[in-house]
């Protein structure tokens, strides 16, 4: 039986949104019905004012700009659409704004004044689609290199068309600095990265130093831009799963879940309980792995190598679990649309229990080493601190936001899978500095273990590990060899792929770094029309120059570690 039900329709008009809409001329805002969340099609002329109203009106309070991306529809008269995703932390409400644009007039107002998070998002939209943002102070390419020509995410751009960058074209920043005749030291501009170990391999920091104090700084990224979104458009829905592994490769499994859930939402597929159960356990283990790497490398950056070895050991053990589930250690691709790759191994529960018993000791050891360590406290307390309000304005989510006193967690605010049935806490700290970001990750490891324990106590649900729907999941090997019908379905799925009904969905999960969202558009074929990933690191890292200015150069190194920037996810 097919589970491809007809698309659900009707999101009823919300009164607070209608009140805002009434303030603007009729026809400038058109609500679009029948989608996963409230959607407005906004005319560009009123966009700036609409956003101001949405942010400042106490009834709406959209204080966070989650995401901005573009979409290209070559056949339409208004060829491009700029898509904004707004979120209100207070109300837990979402809103999507679509701004249609004509190809010959791709100018939008820059809304940096409302949300600083848009700084890099607008640069990305310029880079990928060629949108111009009126009033953006530094609108240059961000992900692609300086010699790049054209805008790669437009539909008429060939996915394999490359441009060669030579050394003389590498970007050199210009800093407008006030006169420094009073300063004690001569100013010096230094360049760190992209291959500097403190920059974790792929970021480039350029800073003007006065003695050891950073006066001004600039960050360049794009050294690991791997064209995830363009690759998604050229592969079938299932083939995108391995690409999602390589977004945040420290916790690849969570990306799998995020993407598969998005597609399942479009397909209206019900995932069997066993798969949901296993997905949650493995997601939480992945979160633990991610936090281990982040905290371990942060301590290495601060000079403490021992904790890194301590924290890598549980990671190695979790690799063992993942390897038993799917055969891979790091880039697992263990999810399939509609379930899991295969049945769980017989010793799955025993392995999980062993890990749950073992990991707390390692965490405890590291905390004993550093929590009251004079050197670590001196290096981290008050360093790169940010207030909750600023963090929200910059679009932060995840542990970094929760370390600044804002308790937004997707698992709690918008529970998916079984999270609403679990007993867990969302740890919140108020320092907003490197020390608290470190501690909150340690607290979250404990919460994750608590969740896993509860799930294990419920016992593994019986039943299949993937949905029994031949349009979505491959039939079993046995059926495939013995039944004509199963073989035909197998052939169709392999050669043609899953056909996802027309529509669009934004779906989010709590990644290790924050809200990991996938905004996906389908045109009814076997490939995504557009697959945009809302990477939690991206807005967090855009804050980095502001965090380190005025601090010392060694603080900059420690604060980068504490933010847990993963290049694969940042640059996609």
Which residues would be at the binding site for other proteins (CB under 8 A)?
143-145, 148, 152, 157-167, 170, 194-197, 201-202, 222-227, 230-231, 242-243, 245-246, 249-250, 293, 308-309, 312-313, 315-316, 319, 329-331, 567-568
3-state secondary structure at position 34: coil
Closer CB to other proteins, 12 or 166, in the complex: 166
3-state secondary structure at position 233: helix
Shortest Cβ 451–other proteins spacing (Å): 24
CA–CA distances in Å: residue 458 to residues 7, 72, 308, 438, 485: 34, 47, 34, 31, 37
* Cβ neighbours, 10 Å, residue 422: 19
Q: Is residue 198 within 8 Å of residue 560, measured between CB atoms?
A: yes
User: Could you tell me the sign of the dihedral formed by the alpha carbons of 477, 243, 392, 86, in that order?
Assistant: negative
- Measured CA to CA, the distance from residue 42 to residue 530 in angstroms comes to 21
Closer CB to other proteins, 241 or 443, in the complex: 241
Closer CB to other proteins, 330 or 480, in the complex: 330
Reference 560, options 117, 196, 199, 194; nearest CA is 199
Q: Is residue 342 within 8 Å of residue 465, measured between CB atoms?
A: yes
- Measured CA to CA, the distance from residue 431 to residue 383 in angstroms comes to 10
Closer CB to other proteins, 162 or 174, in the complex: 162
- Measured CA to CA, the distance from residue 436 to residue 400 in angstroms comes to 9
Shortest Cβ 313–other proteins spacing (Å): 7
Q: Is residue 43 within 8 Å of residue 28, measured between CB atoms?
A: yes
Shortest Cβ 568–other proteins spacing (Å): 6
Shortest Cβ 161–other proteins spacing (Å): 5
Hey, which residues does 216 pair with through a beta bridge? 208
Closer CB to other proteins, 77 or 158, in the complex: 158
Shortest Cβ 195–other proteins spacing (Å): 6
User: Could you tell me the sign of the dihedral formed by the alpha carbons of 317, 293, 260, 472, in that order?
Assistant: negative
Shortest Cβ 165–other proteins spacing (Å): 5
Residues 362-385 as b or e (16 or more Cβ within 10 Å = b) = bbeebeeebeebeebeebbeebbb
Looking at residue 428, what DSSP letter applies? -
Closer CB to other proteins, 168 or 478, in the complex: 168
Shortest Cβ 174–other proteins spacing (Å): 20
Reference 208, options 221, 217, 197; nearest CA is 217
Closer CB to other proteins, 149 or 181, in the complex: 149
Shortest Cβ 267–other proteins spacing (Å): 24
Shortest Cβ 233–other proteins spacing (Å): 11
Closer CB to other proteins, 246 or 411, in the complex: 246
- The residues, any chain, with a CB within 8 Å of residue 345's CB and separated by 6 or more, are 324, 325, 351
Shortest Cβ 148–other proteins spacing (Å): 8
List for the chain the helix, strand, coil content (%; round to 5): 40, 15, 40
Closer CB to other proteins, 247 or 500, in the complex: 247
């Amino acid at each position: 039986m097919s589970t491809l039900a007809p698309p659900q329709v009707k999101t009823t008009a919300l009164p607070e949104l209608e009140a805002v809409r009434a303030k603007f001329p009729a026809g400038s805002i058109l609500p679009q019905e029948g989608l996963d969340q409230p959607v407005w099609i906004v005319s560009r002329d009123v966009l700036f004012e609409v956003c101001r109203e949405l942010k400042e009106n106490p009834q709406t309070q959209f204080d966070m700009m989650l995401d901005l991306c573009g979409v290209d529809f070559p056949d339409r008269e208004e060829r491009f659409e700029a898509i904004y995703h707004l979120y209100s932390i207070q109300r837990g409400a979402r809103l999507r704004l679509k701004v249609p644009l004509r190809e010959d007039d791709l100018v939008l107002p820059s809304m940096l004044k409302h949300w600083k998070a848009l700084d890099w998002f607008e640069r990305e939209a310029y880079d990928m689609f060629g949108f111009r943002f009126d009033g953006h102070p530094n609108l240059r390419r961000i992900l692609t290199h300086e010699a790049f020509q054209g805008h790669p995410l437009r539909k008429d751009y060939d996915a394999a068309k490359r441009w060669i960058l030579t050394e003389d074209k590498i970007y050199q920043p210009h800093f407008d600095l006030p006169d420094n005749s009073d300063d004690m030291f001569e100013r010096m501009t230094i360049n760190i990265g992209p291959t500097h170990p403190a920059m974790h391999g792929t970021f480039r920091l350029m800073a003007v130093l006065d003695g050891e104090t950073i006066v001004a700084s600039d960050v360049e990224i794009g050294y690991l831009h791997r064209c995830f979104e363009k690759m998604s458009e050229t592969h079938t829905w299932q083939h995108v799963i391995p690409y999602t592994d390589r977004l945040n490769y420290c916790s690849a499994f969570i990306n799998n879940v995020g993407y598969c859930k998005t597609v399942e939402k479009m397909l209206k597929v019900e995932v069997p309980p066993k798969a949901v159960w296993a997905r949650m356990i493995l997601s939480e283990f992945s979160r633990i792995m991610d936090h281990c790497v982040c905290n371990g490398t942060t301590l290495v950056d601060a000079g403490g190598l021992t904790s890194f070895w301590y924290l890598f050991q549980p990671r190695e053990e979790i690799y063992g679990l993942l390897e038993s589930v799917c055969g891979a250690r790091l880039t697992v691709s263990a999810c399939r649309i509609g379930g899991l790759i295969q049945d769980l191994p017989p010793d799955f529960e025993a392995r999980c229990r062993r890990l749950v018993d073992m990991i707390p000791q390692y965490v405890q050891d590291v905390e004993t080493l550093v929590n009251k360590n004079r050197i670590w406290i001196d290096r981290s307390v008050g360093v790169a601190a940010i207030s909750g309000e600023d963090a929200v304005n910059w679009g932060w989510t995840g542990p970094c936001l929760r370390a600044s006193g804002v308790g937004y967690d997707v698992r709690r605010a918008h529970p998916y899978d079984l999270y609403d049935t679990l007993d867990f806490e969302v740890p919140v700290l108020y320092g907003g500095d490197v020390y608290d970001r470190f501690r909150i990750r340690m607290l979250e490891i404990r919460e994750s273990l608590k969740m896993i324990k509860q799930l294990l106590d419920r016992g593994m649900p019986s039943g299949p590990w993937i949905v029994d729907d031949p349009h979505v999941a491959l039939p079993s090997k046995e059926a495939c060899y013995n039944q004509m019908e199963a073989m035909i379905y197998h052939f169709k799925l392999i050669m043609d792929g899953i056909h996802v009904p027309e529509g669009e969905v934004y779906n989010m999960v709590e990644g290790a770094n924050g809200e990991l969202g996938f905004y996906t558009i389908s045109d009814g074929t076997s490939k995504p029309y557009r697959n945009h990933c809302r990477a939690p690191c991206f807005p967090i890292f855009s804050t980095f120059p502001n965090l380190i200015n005025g601090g010392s150069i060694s603080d900059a190194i420690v604060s980068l570690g504490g933010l847990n920037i993963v290049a694969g996810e940042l640059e996609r």
